[in-house]
Amino acid sequence: MNLMLQKKPTNRNPFADLLDIQREMNSLFDVSLHRWGSRDEGLLESAWAPAIDIHDSKDNLVVKAELPGLKKEDIDVSVQNGTLVIKGEKKEETEKREKGVIRTERFYGSFHRAISLPTAVDESKVKAAYKNGVLELTLPKKEEAKPKQIKVNVD
């Protein structure tokens, strides 16, 4: 076997190579991360995590997490050392019958969200409600974490 070294042309633009690499990378992501099929699934479907909103009021932190299709038995919530953890398991099975073809799909996967709380909360008084796929947590602030009104006297 003869090995021959080829000399690269000296007039080649190095940025052209970078553009080729960028096109290849974009192509890879388009194929693997693109949402395909009638259910809009893609590679990231298994990496699902719930969308979360946090509202900070004078007395409470209110956290809302979107958990569509889950049962309350599939959800686990804990608060410890200033961290709120929401975890659970998503189980879904669909069957579609169309023109003599039956398509059945199953999706299983767990999720885990850990959120550092911006203020100290009373962990023993946390309340949770789950309705229409939305988990709402009310986390009462500890007294020392609540804002205090300070009156300034002017002489």
- Per-residue pLDDT of 51-96, as tens digits, reads 899 999 888 999 999 988 888 888 999 998 889 999 988 777 788 8
The confidence band for 97, taking pLDDT boundaries of 50, 70 and 90, is: confident
- Per-residue pLDDT of 4-23, as tens digits, reads 555 555 666 777 777 878 87
**Nearest partner of 114 among 43, 67, 50, 59, judged by Cα:** 50
Report the C-alpha gap between 126 and 141 in whole angstroms: 10
CB 113, CB 49: distance < 8 Å: yes
Examine the pLDDT at 30 and tell me if it is beyond 70: no
- Per-residue pLDDT of 137-152, as tens digits, reads 999 988 876 677 778 8
Q: pTM, whole model, 2 decimals?
A: 0.58
Alpha-carbon Rg for the chain, nearest whole angstrom, is 26
The pLDDT of residue 134: 94
The pLDDT of residue 4: 57
CB 87, CB 111: distance < 8 Å: yes
Examine the pLDDT at 2 and tell me if it is beyond 70: no
Q: Which helix (H) or strand (E) holds 95?
A: strand 83-98
Q: Mean of the pLDDT values across residues 27-34? A: 56
Quickly name the fold that domain 49-87+113-145 has.
Answer: Immunoglobulin-like (2.60.40)
| Domain ranges within the chain, ordered by starting residue | 49-87+113-145
